[in-house]
A and B are shown apart, each in its own frame.
Chain A
Amino acid sequence: MKNYAIASAVAFALSGAAMAQTEVKVSSDIATSTTWTANNRYNLQKQIYVLPGATLTIQPGTIIASDTNLGGSLAVTRGAKIIAQGTAEQPIIFTSKADVATWTGNDPKTGTWREAANEWGNLTIMGKAYISEDIPGGSRVNSPSPSASNVGTMEGLTPTSALDPNVLYGGGDDNDDSGSLSHCSFRYGGKVIGLGNELNGLSLGGIGRGTDIDHVEIMNNVDDGIEIWGGTVNLKYVSIWNIGDDSFDVDQGWRGKAQFGLIAQGYSLDAAQGSGVGDNCFETDGAEQSDYQPVTTASIYNFTVIGEPTSGDHGTAWRDNARVHYRNCIFMDLGEQLVKADNIDGDGGKGYGFNGTLSWAATWTTDYNVYSTVNAPSNPAMFYQAQTSGKLAELRDCVTYNNNNGSAYSEATARGVFASSNNNIQQASTMPIAAMTRSSIQLKGGKPTTRLTMLDPRPAGDALKSVGFAPADGFFTPSQYRGGFAPGISWLTGWTASEAYGITPKSSYTPIDAGAPSSATGVPILSGTGTLAPNTPFSFDIANAAPNTGGLLIIGATRLDLPFFGGVLVPFPLETLSFLTNANGAQNLAGTVPASAPGNLDFYMQAWIIDATGPQGFTATNGVRATRS
């Protein structure tokens, strides 16, 4: 261990306390591009559409708090855009006024969890990427092979006419751009006006990979958490809590990637399973009709999936030819099965093997790049880019724990999931996350159930180190651990309801995705401990780096974000501290914050390490924003 004193140069004022905001009632569709600003608070009065051609820009720190139970909701139509880029310090919050009533002093970083959902609508985004819906509405029938003219009618929206363009999704552009979402928290939603069905926390229909989505939280929702219909959108850093139906639901040919996720099952309402008590953690449908294309072919890395052991259903449910990779994940506390072969979704699909498609068993033994010839696109390699190795269906390098249903592992075992070559750890002996506390069992929707009242999702035990890691393809971060969180540091810090409600711990350290990976061990990890208050100890920890080599810890007061030696240099360098890693590729840099340290510390740091397995002779850790907590 090395001792350092922090330079007092890295002191910057944090933003002040929450300011008074003027309420703006939004009661008209948005035809003209509009910016919602953080000095106002927006209240959705009905289903609001951002109409084609318009862009809704939402400033960091903006709160959209709608009248409780009125049913205000937001939908972004095909050809419209939403740009809602919050930050860890200033998230964008979509919620109800009942939630705001629990905040202290109007501060969005406070509040109390309530047994509630269905208090406002949701955010629905509709794009123009390929989907595989069969009957979009009326008498129209889509073609079974991919076509730019194949569209769907969005669930939960009310068409005013046949093929009403405001509720259609799908098209022929897998690179379509519907905008950007970052650091957005959606709470207590799901209410829909005028229809019998419910809304998901975030609905994504036909969204192309030109759309950027990262750091999204769904806290308590009456229907699914996130639902994706077709398209190629990629998601990074998603946190989904207490969902009334499926936490992460996929349909109609999603061909994207997702990495770094948390699913915490529970309940949001005292209502039936599917409308208040959680159902499946992942529910993946291939296509609306099983032989249509595109078919869901996705790749999911580094999710921490915490089921509900008394009322929850399955960890992963599979239907209508879905093909998914689950790698480097944690599956624990599942109510029923880890892998459930539902085969069909109950609304008309014919299941695996229909019309010459692969059987359920063959899907697990067929290479990822063997494309179906049934209703195929002409260029499947372009359609199916998410998977780059292995078989079409996989659960690999995962750890499972406390899945105690009698048939928890039966189907997974039949599919060879626990063959040694898959590097899965079945029923680990110790909990693979740092800590959690459950509520007592309560009867909700006629089912005995629980929810998490405290969770520290950082990895422990068998999750601390995986065998393999995600490919360095520019989207995935090669991370040699299991679950959604790196050892010692959490991306939930600063912007989430789970932290505001005291369920996940506050921290002084926020990770920034920026590392340069080693081809052997992935991206090294930088984390920190300590509150950074004067006269208190702190510790900066480097892990998963090359052993016995030199490095520099770079500290700066501002962000540079400069592409550099195969990674991104995060801090604008003010000060550097040299170090040597130990035989385990780790180093601990510790000290005491000086008494003279200024009141508000706020700085950035990142470690760069000499490593021949790095992109250009170096590896780099994630960046870290450190601020006094």
Chain B
Amino acid sequence: MAHLRFPRALLAIGLLLQACESKKEFENFEIAKWKTDLLEVAFTGASKYPIDPHIKSRSKTQSEVVDAALELDQPLIAQRYIASIANWRAGVGYADLALWCFENGFEPECRRYLALAEERIEGAKSEGAGQGWRADRIRAHVARVYRLLEDDEQVAKFGKAIEEASEQVHLSKVLADTIPASQFDDEIARVERALETKEFDAIRAALTTCVHLYDRFYTDAAKREQLHALVTESKTKLPLEIRIDFLLELSDAASRHDDKDEAARIVKSTTGLLHEGRWLPENEVPLRARVAIAMARAGDPTRARSELETTEQFYEDKLDTIVDIYRGQCLRAIAEAWQALGDHTRALAAYARAAEAGTLNPNSRPRADDLAATCCSLAITNCEPDAALWKRLEEIRDGLGDPW
């Protein structure tokens, strides 16, 4: 038998490609310039806050723009923004940037940003008469990344912060996306054990795993039914907002797999839950807008539009009871829903109203917060402002100043 040697040239090319892959440049992903311009308007607006005495509000709004930059895969922009955050939130920002680096295959950068996050922990301890939760928040975000890096020593160093529910939930998503298919039954058994514990953190994390497995194994009818049952028939009584969240995620997953009937069935059960709730209008409007998005994804754009029209009318009817500083968040949710429904014109109109609503309050603090939120939302939902809205956003930004 002749012995075939693997062609050396091909091997060399393969190794070269692998090397190139591992040495990909650490840079912002390519996105439309208008999106980064929006981030810039948001961040420069947030940075106009005077540090004294508004350091807490300033840093919080700045960090929300950092979150948007990372969601838009703009790590270098995020890095620049984080560097000008003047309190503990810079530590959280660096940890989140490290997470982005991990998720995108930049491990050396990941570790570098983790180190920067860790440096901020000591300073956070002395902020606000020693409100230790701020340092804990950095630790939790740092620990989450070390867990993903499988660096047990560092995870142990940052202690129980990783036990925070939000971190468990994040890990659940990662686990659900990575476990081998052969371990599906083992994972279901683990989920069932968690549901039996009546430990709510464990239950929420387990249900998050279910939702992701539901998406991943959607084409396997038996597995899909099993997971659907686990989520919807959980013996545990969860708060309404959480149950609605899980159902909308299931519905979105069904939509992604083009199973419109199933998605529609789930959305219907969600609207039932929505009507059970006792909401303040400023909380109800965003929830209803999300349901409208799910309806559209489930293949019923007509009903989705109708629901969104009704929601918008509900907002108008309740306007007098909604304090001015909460109106922007309602209108942004409506705008995001119109954009998801593909109606750019109405989305833009709603965003323009959101921008104006953000200026109703005479003080720059809520104005800056609303401006940042509107700009980030426009960028994330891929809704390019027209010239009039651009002009207005910049006017609002330039007008920020006393009184704060």
Contact = CB atoms under 8 A, between A and B. Distances in A.
A595 interface: no
B126 A568 contact: yes
B200 A380 contact: yes
Interface string A181-222: 010000000000000000000000000011011100000000
Interface string A33-75: 1100000000000000000111101000000000000000000
A172 interface: yes
A380 B201 contact: yes
A262 to B, nearest CB: 17
Given A143-B240, A143-B277, A563-B123, A54 B201 contact: no
A248 B365 CA distance: 33
A381 B165 contact: yes
A73 to B, nearest CB: 21
B374 to A, nearest CB: 16
Given A214-B129, A378-B239, A474-B133, A32 B403 contact: yes
A151 B136 CA distance: 28
Contact of A371 (B131, B134, B200): B200
Nearest to B366: A53
A473 interface: yes
Contacts of B128: 180, 212
Contacts of A31: 362
A55 B204 contact: no
Interface in A131-169: 140-143, 145-149, 151, 163, 165
B278 A474 contact: no
B53 A234 contact: no
Contacts of A151: 280
Interface string B132-151: 11111000000000000000
A474 B134 contact: yes
A613 interface: no
Interface string A445-463: 0000000000000000000
B164 A55 contact: no
Contacts of A563: 122-123, 125-126
A381 B205 CA distance: 12
Contacts of B135: 474
B330 to A, nearest CB: 14
Contacts of A561: 126
A473 B132 contact: yes
Nearest to B163: A381
Interface size range on A against B: 35 or more
A375 B239 CA distance: 8
Contact of A52 (B57, B131, B241, B323): B323
Contacts of B204: 378-379
B198 interface: yes
Contacts of B122: 563, 566
A544 B23 CA distance: 54
A34 B403 contact: yes
A377 B200 contact: yes
A371 B132 CA distance: 23
Contact of B404 (A33, A79, A145): A33
A368 B239 CA distance: 22
A555 B365 CA distance: 40
Contact of A236 (B54, B130, B279): B130
B235 to A, nearest CB: 10
A236 B366 CA distance: 29
B111 interface: no
* Most chain B C-beta atoms within 10 Å of own C-beta, residue among A34, A147, A180: A147
A81 B239 CA distance: 29
B154 to A, nearest CB: 17
A14 B262 CA distance: 75
Contacts of B326: 79
A629 interface: no
A83 B130 contact: no
Nearest to A34: B403
A477 B132 CA distance: 10
A52 B280 contact: no
A55 B124 CA distance: 24
Contacts of A373: 198, 200, 236-237
A295 B240 CA distance: 18
Interface string A356-384: 00000000000000010101111111100
* Most chain A C-beta atoms within 10 Å of own C-beta, residue among B129, B237, B241, B324: B129
Interface of B: 53-54, 56-57, 60, 122-126, 128-136, 163-166, 198-201, 203-204, 236-242, 277-280, 283-284, 321, 323-326, 361-366, 402-404
15 contacts: A32-B363, A33-B403, A52-B325, A79-B325, A140-B278, A143-B278, A151-B280, A212-B128, A373-B200, A378-B200, A379-B166, A381-B163, A474-B124, A475-B133, A513-B129
